Amino acid sequence: MDKPHEECGVLGLWSPEPLPVADLLQLGLFALQHRGQEAAGICVSNGKDLVIEKDLGLVTQVFDEARMQRLRIQGANLGIGHTRYSTTGSNLRFNAQPLNVRSSKGILAIAHNGNFVNALQIRQQLLEHGAVFQTTNDTEVMINLIARYARLNLVEATARAMRELTGGFSVVLMDRQTVLALRDGNGVRPLVIGRLSNGGWVFASEPPALALMGASFVRDVQPGELVWVESGELRSMQVLEPHPTPCAFEWIYFARADATLDGIPTHPARIRMGEVLAQEAPAVADLVVPVPDSGIGAAIGYSRASGIPFDYGLHKNPYAGRTFIQPTQEMRDLKVRLKLAATPVVAGRRVVLVDDSIVRGTTSGRIVQLLREAGAAEVHVRISSPPIKFPCYYGIDTAARKELVASTHSVEQIRQLIGADSLAFLSESGVRQAIGGPVCLACFNGQYPAGQPEEEVRKEALEQA
């Protein structure tokens, strides 16, 4: 589907006593599967041994019984996990995370959500000083930086690396004894802290992962904060000056509907987006229809504010999954039909079609066509975010700017392109009003609060370094 692609999901766990760490991390990764569906990995330790298993695929595909048995080492009490979508570094097995290195601090393992916008420059500097890289993603840049500071302990070296890197990132890091978690100064990418009943600690991209692992939510990691477990206690260091601007797309689309990030629940925020959208862009219609599942919250809000009845005019095939089909025009059209089908409820009705975003515009046009073929009299498209005009450098693969339809087309031109009777987007002020806190809107307005690379970075940039 034509959406901004997922970023990544990260997990960390430390327990004062042995636990089925691998199984708990696997459960947590199920709750973060929506954040990355290309690769998954788990690393566990018992204080002496350290084992990593990772591969391309979904959590269910990667962690078969054989892999889980290898991860169930005796006495395990800590570990980290990762689900990946490749925003920097291609979708290759050696780019799967956690990454690990041998260093003067012993074996280190790291899992990362986001992007370092100055990774290419720092990588070049490290190469000039003799560093060796095994992967083509920016996560290895950070772990090499940490390993480079041999005279510093792990906490101090990690804090030093944080100060040298710019961008939007949340990271979990471990050696054989402890787990660290950190967040960039703008808090672009989410990261939360949970507590196990036995006094253990869990770190995760979203709170639903905590619940699935039996942990209770404690708080968010603050922007610019480094936390770690020492003698069973959670320690904290404010490494970077906080300038909170979390990614608006976490509430628009990415985070689970049952997640609360930085104190703001996701589903109610999406409902408010729909309510504001109905005020900003009313339509004369008979039915409000969401694009499942991304448009459901906003469609509920639009219906409530407008008084137009809500109904499911599109059925989503729950078994379609991630389907990779030959890239011909005909086969792309069939891929949309595989995932979505219009229901008879739209026949003869004027429909308000609500979705969260338009990236290239191709899928939106095919959905409008599906509704018309099912007999919809009119299709008025309403989008619960502003037009995406700029690429994201903080861990979302929104496509190159030239591929973003709103960067080269007006709203009226996009309307004609997708074949809608009318088209409107939520305003930037509407997004802020709905979320109720400071947010990063860089993909809408080109203002990058956490910095940007000197030139547009593609996934393959580090492969050519």
Specify whether 324 is located in the same domain as 199.
no
Sheet containing 106-116: give its strands across. 99-103, 106-116, 167-174, 179-183, 225-230, 233-238
Per the listing, tokens 């046009």 go with 365
Q: Flag whether 458 is in a domain.
A: no
Q: Flag whether 259 is in a domain.
A: no
Q: Flag whether 451 is in a domain.
A: no
Average pLDDT for residues 371-381, to the nearest whole number? Answer: 98
Average pLDDT for residues 426-444, to the nearest whole number? Answer: 97
Specify whether 78 is located in the same domain as 174.
yes
Please state the residue numbers annotated as binding site. Answer: 247, 294, 355-356, 392, 440, 443
CATH for 117: 3.60.20.10
**Alpha carbon distance 217, 202 (integer Å):** 9
Average pLDDT for residues 240-269, to the nearest whole number? Answer: 97
Please list the active-site residues: 8
Specify whether 406 is located in the same domain as 301.
yes
Specify whether 70 is located in the same domain as 98.
yes
Q: Flag whether 258 is in a domain.
A: no
- Tens digits of residue pLDDT in 136-191: 677 888 988 998 888 999 999 999 999 999 999 999 999 999 999 999 999 999 99
- Lowest-pLDDT range, 115-129, 211-225, 373-387, 392-406? 392-406
Q: What is the pLDDT of residue 2?
A: 60
Taking the whole predicted model, whether its pTM rises above 0.85 is answered as yes
Q: Flag whether 2 is in a domain.
A: no
CA angle, 435 then 277 then 400, to 5°: 75
Please state the residue numbers annotated as binding site for [4Fe-4S] cluster. Answer: 247, 392, 440, 443
Q: Flag whether 251 is in a domain.
A: no
Q: What is the pLDDT of residue 458?
A: 45
Q: Which two tokens stand for residue 410?
A: 């007006």
Specify whether 219 is located in the same domain as 335.
no
Q: Which two tokens stand for residue 180?
A: 């660290």
**Alpha carbon distance 26, 224 (integer Å):** 28
Domain boundary among 217, 245, 273: 245
172-183 burial, b for 16+ CB within 10 Å, e for fewer?
Answer: bbbbbebbbbbb
Per the listing, tokens 């088209």 go with 423
Contact between 360 and 5 (Cβ < 8 Å):
no
Specify whether 99 is located in the same domain as 16.
yes
Q: What is the pLDDT of residue 93?
A: 65
- Lowest-pLDDT range, 126-135, 242-251, 314-323, 436-445? 126-135
Provide the number of structural domains found in the chain.
2
Residue 282: which domain range?
264-437
Q: What is the pLDDT of residue 128?
A: 77
- Lowest-pLDDT range, 21-25, 204-208, 397-401? 397-401
Complete DSSP assignment for 145-200: HHHH-TTS-HHHHHHHHHHH--EEEEEEEE-SS-EEEEE-TT--S--EEEE-TTS-
Specify whether 196 is located in the same domain as 162.
yes
**Alpha carbon distance 368, 381 (integer Å):** 8
Q: What is the pLDDT of residue 150?
A: 85
Helix (H, G, I), strand (E, B) or coil at 50: strand
Q: What is the mean pLDDT of the chain?
A: 90
Residue 87 pLDDT > 50? no
CATH for 397: 3.40.50.2020
Smallest CA-to-CA distance from 184 within 204, 160, 165 is with 165
Average pLDDT for residues 29-53, to the nearest whole number? Answer: 95
Q: Flag whether 443 is in a domain.
A: no
Q: Flag whether 414 is in a domain.
A: yes
What residues form DSSP beta bridges with 84?
8, 39
Strands 106-116 and 99-103: antiparallel
Specify whether 271 is located in the same domain as 307.
yes
Specify whether 230 is located in the same domain as 269.
no
Specify whether 167 is located in the same domain as 283.
no
Specify whether 56 is located in the same domain as 149.
yes
pLDDT band at 364 (very low <50, low <70, confident <90, very high): very high
Specify whether 301 is located in the same domain as 417.
yes
How far lies 395's CA from each of 58, 204, 284, 422, in Å? 19, 16, 38, 32
Please state the residue numbers annotated as binding site for Mg(2+). Answer: 294, 355-356
Residue 417 buriedness (CB in 10 A; 0-12 / 13-18 / 19+): middle
Q: Which two tokens stand for residue 10?
A: 């990260």
